[in-house]
Amino acid sequence: MTPTPTIFAPLFIVATALFIWSCWKRLSLTALGKADDRLDNIGQRISDTLSYAFAQKRVLAKPSGLIHVAIFWCFLVLMVANTEFILHGLFPAINFAILPDSISMPLLQIIDVVSLITLLAVIAAAIRRLVAPPYPEARTFEAFFILFLIATLMLANFGVNAAKISRLQGANLNLFHHILPISSFFAAFVPAGTGKLVHDLSWWTHALVLLLFMNLLPLSKHFHIITAIPNVFLRRREHPPLPEREKFEAGNSFGINQVDGYTWKELLDSFSCTECGRCQMACPADQTRKPLNPRGVIAQLKHNLMANGPLLKQGQPATVPLIGEGDASISEEAIWSCTTCGACLQACPVFIEQMPKLIPLRRHLVEMESKFPEELLNLFENMEGRSNPWGIAPTERGKWAAQLGERPYEAGKSEYLFYVGCAGSFDARAKQITVATALLLDKAGVSWGMLGKDEKCCGDSLRRLGNEYVFDKLAKENVALFKERGIKKVIVQCPHCLTTLKNDYKQYGIELEVIHHSQLLLYLVQDGRLKLPKQADLGKLVYHDSCYLGRHNGIYDEPREALALATGAEPLEMPRNREDGFCCGAGGGRMWMEEFTGDRINLVRAAEALEQQPDTICTACPYCLTMLDDGIKDLKADKVQVKDIAEVMAEAVLR
Amino acid sequence: MLIVACIKQVPDTTQVKIDPVTNTLVREGIPFIMNPYDTHAMEAALQLKDQFGCRVAVLSMGPPNAEATLRKALSAGVDRAILLSDRVFGGADTLATSKVLAAAIAKLNDELEPVGLVICGKQTIDGDTAQVGPGIAVRLGYQQLTLVDKVEELDLAARKLVVSRKLEGRHERVQAPLPSMLTVVRELNRPRYPTVPMRLAAATAEVEVWDNSVLQLDPQTIGLKGSPTWVSKIFSPERDKGEIVGDGYADPEGTVDLLLGKLMEKDLLPL
């Protein structure tokens, strides 16, 4: 069984054809998706690919990522070895020996060492998966089998070389001891006289396993070896990800309920997932035992595409529903469990977009089927009828300012609009934040005005909940009002208003300069416009990142710096902070929904905050404040107070 | 069989103020909504349509701008939306209103298809009389079943229905022949939220407007002239009891003490 092209060539051709067919069968399905331009800004894309795909920046965010980096880089080197292996199998005259020694010798040496590193990394990966799997279901046969195959390839490679070395003598032997130290080690175990047998066995093992491995890729999560790098290159450039606008014309359908409603890139995402589970570990819904698992959503999308794709290609309707129960469908409860916190997007090493795939499903349920959790009916009607979540009369909006005196925004006179938001206008607790902020603005001599009863809800919850129709109405009304009043600079105290006014409204043709109060208060202190006569004495203070302030808008430092100035000490950090911050449970419209399944997200987060033994938990979002305040009350930690950053600043400036 | 739901456009009373000088409702800038009880009446009609395939018409008597509310009904899925609007209908009390509505229902019954059920909300939130539904029933000679919280049975072949009426502290199960007039309470159902395609279709669908040239009623018996009821004064009652104690946000503990003190002073706490 010497490597003979007459046997290997047909095998190789069949295996390669099969591999190409499998890849084509899958990747061609992405053509069912809608158009999406992902080829803008090529320079930036190349640079992102280098740092995220090749330098594996996000993979390295976790220590276990080191193993992956080792395997990835070894793979790249071993591509050279395997190319030689295949060429040699097809054309026995071709091997490294035809290269000049100055090239072939170091190459052989590198490959020998790299093979050992690969072997060790694969063993480490197997042990890690066995002992401390990223998530319990990660111990799949497939995962271990692939590791086993890689290990076999390495051992077979050593076998081939060891067998060769065992048949060498004298100077040649010494040379190869030097060049192939690892293979030489294995050569000692080759029984005398079996060199050829060991060589042929190893060679054919390597050949067959290589072809098997290649063919397993498209069938398994290891397809990511082929798709992940392009997936990083084709990543969404704009941040935060914005849902598409919808065109409300008769005859259109809204949202997505069939897999071909997604873009080709979103479909490619489903083939790029290697099931590492990082999104899942970061997901507040999954971590509190709700039936939403972002990894599962991507897998369900893939299965749905595989099941329906061939039919859809022929112009026939899908048979497996996209929204529903089962392995190839996404359940309604999963769809409604998302807090849109964006932790999955932040965690994914290959930029798969999990959360944005759920919004169009919500849109379909709300806009096409009127199917949504009961609690949302009131919310939707209140938002549409009275432009606030509680259904309070819009005329009550400016009442928080009763004691200060209403300060209408006047074009040309007021520098900033203070866009108070629904919570800040109507919620008794959040109104205190509004008043504190207003007093601080006055103290600093900031020129500001408010819209009072003319202010409307920004529509954040509606948009995240998939009620794009009503969001669209509100957004148009707000944008028209802002334009009419000549508003350009806006102060907000709610990160949901922040992101909606600043990012979502761009789709409606307005670019507002929106500043969160946590930023403005810091700048006012830094500019000396706010003096700190004393430090706020609130004891030990821990800061909780709002998802829409942090992950969605990148504001991490300013609140911390402002708190450090106000209290004289850096705020305490929870284990999950900044980019890895854990949601309070209220984002994505979850503020208005009951939480029936699993643990309550706000209790988990409140407990995490209490572990730091703080006297004060500081938030920068009225929703977070409500959730954490409820959380500490439920945990009977009444001595701990939850305060907004403006209230902390007010303690230092105004008391 | 046709089911008629009667709906009214009312000012959103949570936002209504009474002008202390003129004793009238300040309607300026106040949005109009469909009378909340009527949304349940319409939903009941639509559920019967879903179940039995009946056709549903909604009727509303009101000014031309009530068209917006009828359009909302179209977006929920009714087959016909008819606005009864004429200057001579204006200023009507419940008697005159029920005359006009009854005439319109009779016309639908005679000219379109037999009416099996008329469904109204138990009352409106602006008038609170609960008289229009029964008034319609009397004028048409229909059975009247008020305060319905469940339609238990509808037998189109035997032309009868069984409903549950929500009375104080008890329920009453009543069987009645068709045609009947029901007034409904909120517990009956959860009104549907219109889908976007339905809203878009409703935006261009026809709201029929019938004036008195269609109904041919004697102007002396309808509108202001046909209304024996006169509203002499509307006012907000003075608060004669109760007091707001302290500031629970600024000083929760002190406020609780204050409240307990006051309650104990009046001997209102069982100690």
The conformational region for residue B154 under phi > 0 = left, psi -120 to 50 = alpha, else beta, is beta
Mean pLDDT for A2-23 is 93
Nearest Cα residue in chain B from A379: B193
| Region B31-54 average pLDDT | 95
**Rounded-to-integer distance, Cα B78 and Cα B68, Å:** 14
What's the pLDDT score for residue A176? 87
User: At residue A595, does pLDDT exceed 70?
Assistant: yes
Residue A359 has pLDDT above 70, yes or no: yes
For the segment A422-457, what is each residue's pLDDT rounded down to a tens digit?
999 999 999 999 999 999 999 999 999 999 999 999
CATH architecture of A259-308+315-368: Orthogonal Bundle (1.10)
Number of other residues whose CB lies within 10 A of the CB of residue B120: 33
Is the Cβ pair A469, B14 closer than 8 Å?
no
Q: Specify the residue for token string 């509190």.
A: A288
CB A104 within 8 A of CB A97: yes
Q: What local confidence, expressed as pLDDT, does residue A487 receive?
A: 97
Residue B200: its chain A contacts at CB < 8 A? 248-250, 252
Q: In this structure, which long-range contacts are made by residues A599-604, counting pairs with CB atoms below 8 Å and at least 24 apart in sequence?
A: A599/A288, A599/A289, A600/A288, A600/A631, A600/A634, A601/A284, A601/A285, A601/A288, A601/A339, A601/A627, A602/A627, A602/A628, A602/A630, A602/A631, A603/A631, A603/A634, A603/A635, A604/A284, A604/A287, A604/A288
> What pLDDT is recorded for position A168?
86
> Pick from A369, A380, A381: which is nearest to B195 by CB?
A369
ipTM: 0.90
Taking residues A19-35, report their average pLDDT. 97
Q: Residue B27: what pLDDT? A: 66
A-chain residues near B194 (CB < 8 A): 370
Contact residues on chain A for B192, CB-CB shorter than 8 A: 370
Domains A5-233 and A259-308+315-368 in one fold: no
Residue of B nearest to A249 (CA): B200
What pLDDT is recorded for position B20?
67
Mean pLDDT of chain A: 95
CATH number of B2-221: 3.40.50.620
- Please answer yes or no on whether A250 and B196 come within 8 Å at the CB atom: no
Rounded average pLDDT over B215-229:
93
CA distance A633 to A591: 17
* Contact call for B193 and A380, based on CB within 8 A: yes
Residue B115, classed as helix, strand or coil, is strand
Using one digit for the tens of pLDDT, what is the confidence trace for A490-546? 999 999 999 999 999 999 999 999 999 999 999 999 999 999 998 988 999 999 999
Percent of chain A past pLDDT 90, that is, above it, reads 93
**pLDDT score recorded for residue B252:** 83
Q: What is the mean pLDDT of residues B42-66?
A: 96
**Which H helix or E strand runs over A286?**
helix A284-287
> Residue A597: pLDDT above 70?
yes
Chain B residues whose beta carbon lies within 8 Å of the beta carbon of residue A249:
200
Q: Which of A368, A395, A432 sits opposite B197 (nearest CB)?
A: A368
Tracing tokens 């995240």 back to the chain, one arrives at A464
- Collect all residues of chain B within an 8 Å Cβ-Cβ radius of residue A374: 190
The pTM score is: 0.92
DSSP A336-366: HH-----HHHHH-TT----GGGTHHHHHIII
pLDDT given at position A1:
44
The span from the CA of A286 to the CA of A300, in Å, is 15
A616 and A652 in contact (C-beta within 8 Å)?
no
Q: Are A259 and A324 in contact (CB under 8 A)?
A: no
Contact yes or no for B197 and A372 at CB 8 A: no
Asked if B193 and A469 come within 8 Å (Cβ–Cβ), the reply is no
B208-210 and B180-184 beta bridge pairing: unpaired
Cβ atoms of residues A157 and A206 within 8 Å? yes
Residues 6+ apart with CB under 8 A from A279: A294, A295, A343, A344, A345, A347, A348, A352, A354
Categorize the per-residue pLDDT at B25 as very low, low, confident or very high, splitting at 50, 70 and 90. Answer: low
Cβ–Cβ < 8 Å for A349, A56: yes
Query: What number is the average pLDDT over the span B50-63?
Result: 96
Number of Cβ pairs closer than 8 Å across A and B? 49
Sequence-separated (6 or more) residues with CB below 8 Å from residue A502: A512, A514, A553
pLDDT digits (tens, 9 = 90+) for A159-171: 999 999 998 887 8
Domain A5-233's class? mainly alpha
DSSP state of A31: G
Beta-carbon-side half-sphere exposure of residue B71 (alpha carbons within 13 Å): 14
Which residue spans of chain B are classified as CATH 3.40.50.620? 2-221
Residue A499: the pLDDT is 98
pLDDT of residue A297: 98
